Every structure is written in C-alpha cells, then in structure tokens.
Amino acid sequence: MKNTIDQKAREGYALELGKLIDDSFATFKKTFLVSGLGMLIVSAIMVLFYIGLMGSFFGFSNLSKTLLSIETLAKEPNFIIGSGIVSMFVSALFAPFTAGFIHLNHLAQTQKSFSIDNLFDFYKEPYYKQIFLGYLVIGGVTALFTTTLSLFGYEKINTFVQIIISLATLFTIPLIIYGKLNYTEALSKSVQLYAKQPIIILVAMLIAVIGMLLGIFILCVGIIFTIPFLYAMHYALYAQAIGFEKTASENQAT
C-alpha cells in the first residue's frame, strides 16, 4: 500500500467530481442517522469539555461573567497565545472522532455492520498515538499562523489560512488508518497528494459544505445530521484518489 501512496504522491491521480458527489451521497444516505446521533454525542462531550475548561480557568459561579471575561480578554496577546495552545491540544484530543466518522463510510461502503461504537475505534493503538500527534502538529501550525495574524491585527485572513491548512492535510487521517503510515509520513504525503489536485479537492469540499448547509432546509433534520456529509466527501476523496488494499479473502475471490 505504501508503494501505491508514494506513486500517487509522485505521479498524481485522477478525480472525477461527478463520481465524488455520487459516491459521497451514497454513503451519506447509509450512515447519516448513525453519524447524526454520533454527532449529537460528540457535540455534548465537547460542550461539557469546554464548560469544564472555562470553569477551571474563570470559575463556575457565574457563567455570564465568565463569557464576558473571555470577550474582554479576546484581544489580549497572552489570551490569544493561550487560546492557540489550547486549540492545538483540543483538536488533537478529538481527532480520533474524525477518524471514526470517516470510517463509518468505509464500513457502509464495504457492506459491514456499523454503530456509534465505531466512532471510538481510533482511541486505541496503533491509531491513537499517530492521529493525536498528527493533529497536534496540524493544530500547532494552524495556531502559529492564526495567533501571529491575530497579534498583528489580520484576523480576517485567519479563515483563509485555516482552510488551506485543512485542505492540505485532508488525507492525513485516512493515510494513517488505511495507509498504515506514521503521522510524519501521513502529513508529508497528504500535502503532496493535495498539491496534485488542489482545485478539484477545494471544489469537492465546497460542494460538501453547501450540501451540508442546504440539508438544514431540504432534509429538515438540522445541521447535526448533515455535517456527516463532509466526512462522506472526505472518505470519497481518499477512496477515489488512493483506494484500499485488498484483504487476502478479497484477493482469493478475484
């Protein structure tokens, strides 16, 4: 599998936008209910985590006062730097959930059973360490750029920088969980792979975001249940760009 990844990173690969949309929507239809319920659980965990984090720094006695304190401190250099460091570790801590949401699509695509429990599959070795370290690096680079821009008053550029970093590192998790690469190899190969098809990847993810937002009104199920379309497109991009190594049983069948 590593040879295939190296070859694609070196020589490039083809992506068909129409097929990406079809494939992502096909897996989304199979997984949106489980993914949506999982998103509710993960969102609740994150809210509790952030409440606990804010409470430990600012106190639990008066939430409105805490929020006011954060708003007041938002432009303080020390707070900006501290927020960047916290964001770096939080993104790394919750990154295995992202892997779980992506993997639900793989299980659906390969006609295997799946449940909410699969969202926690990557909080164990050999995956957790590599995913955590990979997203610690991604979060660190993102925090470095966004914190520097904020300190110099260029907050409006932050979103653009975050989008570029997110797209360039899009393949990191799939390369770890399916390509069996360590985090340094996965980060390096992800940047190389993205550089081969930057426009189509950008357009595909933009379509996924639009589909997610339109789903609020068309499907009437709320954004919690349409966010997983992003992960479906994420999976479709990797599946079409790299593909998967066949198991012994699959090789025998062919």
Residue 146: name the closest of 86, 199, 195 by CA: 86
pLDDT band at 29 (very low <50, low <70, confident <90, very high): very high
Let me know if residue 147 belongs to a domain. Answer: yes
pLDDT band at 49 (very low <50, low <70, confident <90, very high): confident
Let me know if residue 113 belongs to a domain. Answer: yes
Let me know if residue 72 belongs to a domain. Answer: yes
pLDDT band at 248 (very low <50, low <70, confident <90, very high): very low
77: cis peptide before it, omega within 30°? no
Let me know if residue 237 belongs to a domain. Answer: yes
pLDDT band at 84 (very low <50, low <70, confident <90, very high): confident
Residue 236: name the closest of 40, 104, 39 by CA: 104
Residue 192: name the closest of 133, 131, 126, 242 by CA: 242
Let me know if residue 46 belongs to a domain. Answer: yes
CA atoms within 13 A on the CB side of 131: 26
Let me know if residue 138 belongs to a domain. Answer: yes
Let me know if residue 86 belongs to a domain. Answer: yes
Let me know if residue 254 belongs to a domain. Answer: no
Enclosing domain of residue 141: 2-242
Residue-level pLDDT at 188: 96
Query: How many domains are there within the chain?
Result: 1
Residue 70 has pLDDT above 90, yes or no: no
The answer to whether residues 226 and 210 touch, using CB atoms and an 8 Å cutoff, is: no
Q: How far apart are CA 13 and CA 139, in angstroms?
A: 28
